[in-house]
Amino acid sequence: MHRVGLVVFPGFQAMSLAAVSAFEFANLTMERKIYEIRYVSETGGPVAGSFGMTMQTDTFARRGFHTLLIGGGVGIPDSTPDLLRCIRNAARRSRRVASICTGAFLLAEAGLLDGRRATTHWLLAPQLKQRYPQVNVEEDRIFIIDGPTWTSAGMSAGVDLALAMVEKDLGPEVARKVAQLLVVYHRRAGGQSQFSALLELEPKSDRIQHALSYAKSHLRSALTVEELAAAANLSPRQFSRTFRAETGQSPAKAVEHLRVEAARLMMEQTRHPVEVVAREVGFDDRERMRRAFVRMFGKPPQAMRREAPGPV
């Protein structure tokens, strides 16, 4: 059985607990107990969260955990010498150590991120970098795996991190089923930007949101206004008017942003030729993709590939 220890501390954020749902549903999918979850803290007993929630916890067990997972808080968590000692000792007995959101600050304070690549919530990443210059902080990543150390961005990224662990342990098919049970998209890749074109567009209605989700899943299609309008169950004229009113962009510009976002991810995570990337995300040719990259990032795709840290 794979033992997972989730470390909480005073002021922990309840959403960081969502990550363990991936392990719970992995057990349901496999129809047996693959993962055992223990909630642990410095002293054990009740620990108060950030929004009135109290979690009953155990002390750190001597037997250790296969996965030690540090939860996150609304702000930078306070550390104590005893908590850091417990984390260090447990980490030595664990197969992998991970953090959700600001939990990375505890890993860094414990010295477990020294010389490693790591991420955290984009808002606090500059502080992580300033406080711990020995950590190679990458501010714009959903999660990062560096050897046995895993770190993730904001709270929802903890679910992506946990799904990636399930995929590592049990295979992609199980991870896909778990994602379906959780009613989330199959996990976002670790190298994906914390900033999403879908989030930036902020559509107000389910119809426009559905059209954008359809577009993201069918980037190789022409994605004409007529096709997107059909996905939204609106007339082309009504769709174009509603889309611009809700997002402030034309459908064509939004689709270009989605394609550039997908192309950037492929450029960073694979070594496919530029022509292949352009075709896979729906650009007619590499020149059209190059112009779109320059408009969005101020540099061509080849330059962004050279600057990328490589697959995570």
d(CA 312, CA 160): 13
Domain membership of residue 32 (yes or no) is: yes
Which residues are paired to 132 by β-bridges?
Answer: none
Domain membership of residue 76 (yes or no) is: yes
The verdict on 27 and 163 lying in the same domain is yes
Residue where a domain terminates, one of 147, 182, 217: 182
Long-range contacts of 216-219 (CB under 8 A, 24+ apart): 216/258, 216/262, 219/255, 219/258, 219/259, 219/262, 219/280, 219/281, 219/282
The verdict on 17 and 105 lying in the same domain is yes
Q: What CATH number is given to the structural domain containing 221? A: 1.10.10.60
Domain membership of residue 188 (yes or no) is: no
Tokens of 128: 């992580």
The string of DSSP letters for 68-87 reads EEE--BSSPPP--HHHHHHH
Q: Based on DSSP, count helices (H) and strands (E) in the chain, helices before strands.
A: 14, 10
Domain membership of residue 6 (yes or no) is: yes
Domain membership of residue 192 (yes or no) is: no
Tokens of 6: 């989730």
The verdict on 218 and 96 lying in the same domain is no
Burial 171-207 (b: 16+ CB within 10 A, else e): eeebbbbbbeebebebbbbbbbbbeebbeebebeeeb
| Count of domains observed in the chain | 2
3-state secondary structure of 203: coil
Domain membership of residue 91 (yes or no) is: yes
Domain membership of residue 115 (yes or no) is: yes
Tokens of 43: 């002293």
Tokens of 117: 């690549």
Residue where a domain terminates, one of 134, 153, 182: 182
Q: Which residue has the tokens 């020294």?
A: 114
Determine the pLDDT at residue 69. Answer: 97
Determine the pLDDT at residue 180. Answer: 87
Residue where a domain terminates, one of 158, 182, 206: 182
pTM: 0.66
Confirm if 131 and 105 have CB atoms less than 8 A apart.
yes
Determine the pLDDT at residue 79. Answer: 93
d(CA 59, CA 85): 13
Which residues are paired to 76 by β-bridges?
Answer: none
Classify residue 136 as exposed, middle or buried by CB count within 10 Å of its CB (0-12, 13-18, 19+): middle
Angle CA 184–113–149, to nearest 5: 45
pLDDT mean by block of 10 residues, the chain; 312 residues: 95 92 96 96 94 92 87 92 95 96 96 96 92 91 91 89 94 90 66 57 80 89 94 94 91 92 83 91 92 87 73 44
Determine the pLDDT at residue 267. Answer: 84
The verdict on 137 and 161 lying in the same domain is yes
d(CA 149, CA 152): 10
Range of the domain at 243: 197-307
The verdict on 178 and 203 lying in the same domain is no
d(CA 169, CA 172): 9
